[in-house]
Structure 1
């Protein structure tokens, strides 16, 4: 999986970046390991320097719901800040090996308290992450598996899309099972939905598994898309 569009990320100031760098240590991460597990005590926050990290949650029926695919300069574990006895709400699994900056939660809180302007900026950034989470859960609850898949395709296009004559090519190959994990659905149900979209000429799929969206307005109309800004409507 390649890096996503920079326009789909909310940038942070040089001052906040310096504060985060000053209060961090480096750690090597290996494929298939976990940075953190849902339900465990949240003492650390991570900034990805290289590699990919999948952030997901287990549903009540035991299915995995992928919420983010994070890469360079993304922050994960960030929602635990300024809370008492915090627990990780999600799990972070390493998809490809790399390196992260590890920031102790308590040390970062102390540093932010001394810089009120940066505290406001950090909380604004964190609020954006929560809005992403809420919008993805909304798509799943209000529109079911179909809505979850359609919104996932839109988010992937916003993060990894290349504009071409026929439409938008999602420049990353995902299996039907991987798409299903974004929707908390089965591989079979996602396959049926993709076949239907192909018959409607809404999408096409090349030999490598990459999807081209020919009619993104169809997907948007089916889920009542609110045309959220890119920093909200993306897969990161």
Structure 2
């Protein structure tokens, strides 16, 4: 599903003033605790944002694709270090702007500043809604809401009404998104497949009964700007 996540005017700032960088698959863009000096726009590719627990378990917070901003929480708040890890799940091309330049450009254009603030509020709501689902609906609800968000972010509608998620995920990666174990995800996915709610092939999931997933977690039908995984 094609969706513009960043206001066109903000996007244009990066086109006009950003520096082009390339990150190979598997490499880190930045790590938790490193000094945060730049904000990034993904032109092409996929970047995973994650945190690691004290026990060494990785929890995936976002999977970000084309035209998504990352490192966006630092400008204007004096946060001088990264709070998450950013790793390329596939080779990625990004545009980078220093916080100082980004802040200066927005300050000089009040209308653009309002665009950015409105966008930032939507991003906060997006992350709050995902945290709500993870906390309120248990492990099954975490999986179901993650599948719904994946269809909204990477879904392609098929002729039979099903939705193909055009992004391959291993069960371990899906478990990290749901903050649970791979074994539990395996059981729940197989149960959904048994009841023909989903099917999967080589890491790609197709959702055949999206209303079932929504009904199971009392979905509030949030706008697509909020119900996303990026």
Would you say same fold, with TM above 0.5? yes
Whether the aligned pair in 2 keeps the contact of 1:57 and 1:66 (CA below 8 Å) is yes
1:124-176: CA deviation from partner (whole Å, max 9, x where unpaired):
11222222211111111111221111111111111222323162222333221
Query: Is this contact kept in 1: 2:5–2:67, CA < 8 A?
Result: no
Instruction: State how many pairs are aligned.
Output: 229
- How many angstroms does 1:11 deviate by? 4.2
Tell me, in whole angstroms, the C-alpha distance in 1 between the residues paired with 2:182 and 2:161: 27
Q: Which runs of 5+ in 1 are unaligned?
A: none
Correspondent of 2:186 among 166, 191, 204 = 191
Aligned-pair CA distance for 1:78: 0.6
Task: Spell out structure 1 runs of 4+ moving beyond 6 A.
Answer: none
Question: What is the correspondence of 1:1-236 to structure 2 with a 5 Å cutoff?
Answer: 5-7=1-3, 9-13=4-8, 15-59=9-53, 61-164=55-158, 165=160, 167-206=162-201, 208-236=202-230
Distance verdict in 2 for CA 1:147–1:60, change over 3 Å: farther
Q: CA RMSD, aligned part only?
A: 1.9
Per the alignment, in what secondary structure is the counterpart of residue 78 of structure 1?
A: coil
C-alpha distance in structure 2 between counterparts of 1:57 and 1:209, whole Å: 23
Q: Distance in 1 between matches of 2:219 and 2:167?
A: 23
- Cα deviation for residue 223 of structure 1 reads 1.5
CA shift digits 1:92-130 (9 cap, x unpaired) = 111122321111001211111111110111121122222
CA contact (8 A) 2:155 2:164 kept: yes
Q: Which range moves more in the overlay, 55-64 or 28-37?
A: 55-64
TM-score (norm 1): 0.88
Counterpart-to-counterpart distance in 2, 1:195 and 1:28: 38
Please give the TM-score of this superposition, normalised by the length of structure 2.
0.90
